[in-house]
Each structure stands twice: as C-alpha cells, then as structure tokens.
C-alpha cells in the first residue's frame, strides 16, 4: 500500500516538474523523479508480480526496481548539487558516479548470491535471514544514507543563503534528508537483527519503517517541487508587474514619440506583441532619449519621472515599486 501511495506521489511530482521546469536545460531533478517513480511503481505488488514473471519469476524484478531507485537517488543528488556553488569534496564523492557504480556492482553481486526462490512480494521478510540478502539490503540503504546526507549538507547551505518563503524548499529537503538517513539506519538495524535471528528487535524497529519511508518521500517531493513552484510564481508576479508598468508608461511613451517621431521605428501594434520586458525596456529608453534630446521640448511631470524610475528599478531587478 505504501509503495502505491509513494508511486502516485512521485508521478504527481514528475508532472509538476515537467510543467514547472520545461524551460530548464538542467534535467537531473526531472530524470530523478521519473526514475524513482518507475522504481516505486515496480514495487507495487500488482505491478511487481507480472513484471517479475516476465523474468522467470525469480525476483529479478526486485533487483531492477532497487537499481532504478538507486539511479534515481543519484540523479536527485546530482541535481541538488548542481543548483548550488557549494560542492565540497565529500559531497562530490558521495554524489559522484563512481560511488553509484560501486554500490550497483555490490548490489548485483549480493543479489547473485541470494537463493531467491520464486516470486515474492515480501523479499526481505522472506529472504532476509540469508547473509547475502542482508548484504544486499545494507549496500542499498547505505548508499541512500550517504547520498541524502550529502544532500542535507547542500540543502543546509541553501537554507542559510535564503530568507522568508524561499527557505521552504531547502528546509523541506533538509527534513526529508534527515528522515532518509533515519530510514537507512532503521533498515540496516532490521537487516542485522533478522540475520542474527532477533526477530523481536526486527519487528520493534520495523514499526518505524513505513512512516519514515512515506515521510521521507513527502518532504523530498515538497522540496523538489517547491523551488520551481516558487520560481514560477515569482516569474508570474514579475510579468504582471511588468505589464502594469507598460500600461502606466504608454501615455508618456506616446508623448515622447510624438515630439521625436524617429523613435517609433515599428508599428505600435507590433511592439505590443513583443515580450513585455522588451516593450518596457524600449519605452524607458525612448522616454529617456526624448528627455535628453536638446532639439525637442519634453519635460515629464515629477510623478511621471518617479514612475519612470520605478520602471527602471524593476528592469534592473530591484524590489522598488
């Protein structure tokens, strides 16, 4: 059940990222979301059983899903790291391709040593008593723990550099990373307890598994979707403010082009169809040109001059209004 919930959550994240990040050239976060969504979908019992049957019913589907999840986590860490200039050596090593390859090789070798039997939707519960199965799970969750710990270090840096609502995505990533490390520790303890035959400890610690697993993905998804969502809202707010300035400056610009007809090099209707930022920049420049041209008389009111200054500050990225 929890895998199905997370699969739905991840596919929702994929859709949101495809919409919010469609113009971004850096695709690591999107690749991560898609790969993790596929991995979690393969982990749903109703999907897993027929998929594993295609590979002979020997739980190869588990290896595929787990390897896909590791690759997705790798892309996730890379995407978060590339979003910041803070890249200390330990972080680069943890989120590097060499670490992933080593972990994947270890995962495949451990899986090859497991007596997997026939298809089971409770892989570690049924087979976790085997040393190779315990090693398989420990390798996997050790890698997760290392990657999310490195992500936390990067997110903490981002959190410190931001203020207000801009801190929410980084804060959510930090919480998700902390939960992810906790989840890794819980799973490793469960693996060791199962291998040692201490089933009471395994069951007691296992109570934490489901909520940690779900909350880790919830907070990571909020953090991943939060940044592009905030960026999108910021862009929309800026566009609306730009359009307002264009409308407010148009009468002054019309007056400037009347005293200096040479400024109006294109049809006014065509100009209005351009990007609002381009239109606003054109209006500001041409109004300024008219103001400093000694050949014409163009003297805006103090209110017009203040509006012009606010528009210039807006174009420069200032918060002035």
* Exposure of 76 in the CB half-sphere (CA atoms within 13 A): 34
Least confident of 54-68, 141-155, 214-228: 214-228
CATH classification of 2-232 is 2.60.40, yes or no? no
Q: Note the maximum CA span of the chain.
A: 95
pLDDT in tens, 235-276: 888 989 999 999 999 999 988 888 876 655 545 544 555 688
Contact 180, 144 (CB under 8 A): yes
The domain ranges of the chain are 2-232, 236-315
Identify which of 286, 282, 280 has the alpha carbon closest to the alpha carbon of residue 300.
286
Question: H or E stretch including 202?
Answer: helix 199-206
Q: What is the mean pLDDT of residues 107-134?
A: 91
Contact 220, 155 (CB under 8 A): no
pLDDT in tens, 84-101: 777 788 888 998 999 999
Taking the C-alpha atoms of residue 15 and residue 91, their distance in angstroms, rounded to an integer, is 29
Model pTM score: 0.76
């Amino acid at each position: 059940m929890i895998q199905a919930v997370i699969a739905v959550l991840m596919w929702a994240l994929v859709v949101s990222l495809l919409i919010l990040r469609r113009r971004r050239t850096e695709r690591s976060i999107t690749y991560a979301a898609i790969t993790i969504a596929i991995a979690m979908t393969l982990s749903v019992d109703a999907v897993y059983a027929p998929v594993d049957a295609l590979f002979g019913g020997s739980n190869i589907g588990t290896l595929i899903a787990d390897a896909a999840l590791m690759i997705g986590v790798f892309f996730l860490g890379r995407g978060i790291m590339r979003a910041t200039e803070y890249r200390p050596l330990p972080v680069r090593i943890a989120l590097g391709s060499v670490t992933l390859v080593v972990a994947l090789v270890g995962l495949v070798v451990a899986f090859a040593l497991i007596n997997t039997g026939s298809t089971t939707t409770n892989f570690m519960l049924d087979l976790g008593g085997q040393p190779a199965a315990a090693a398989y799970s420990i390798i996997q969750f050790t890698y997760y723990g290392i990657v999310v710990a490195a992500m936390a270090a990067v997110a903490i840096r981002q959190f410190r550099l931001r203020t207000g609502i801009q801190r929410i995505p980084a804060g959510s990533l930090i919480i998700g990373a902390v939960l992810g490390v906790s989840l890794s520790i819980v799973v490793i303890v469960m693996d060791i307890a199962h291998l040692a035959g201490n089933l009471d400890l395994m069951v007691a610690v296992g109570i934490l598994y489901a909520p940690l697993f779900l909350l880790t993905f919830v907070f990571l998804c909020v953090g991943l979707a939060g940044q592009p969502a905030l960026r999108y809202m910021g862009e929309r707010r800026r566009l609306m403010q730009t359009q307002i300035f264009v409308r407010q400056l148009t009468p002054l610009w019309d007056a400037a082009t009347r005293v200096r007809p040479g400024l109006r090099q294109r049809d006014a209707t065509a100009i209005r169809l351009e990007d609002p930022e381009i239109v606003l920049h054109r209006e500001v420049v041409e109004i300024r040109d008219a103001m400093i041209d000694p050949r014409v008389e163009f003297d805006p009111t103090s209110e017009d001059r203040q509006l012009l200054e606010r528009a210039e500050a807006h174009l420069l990225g200032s918060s002035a209004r």
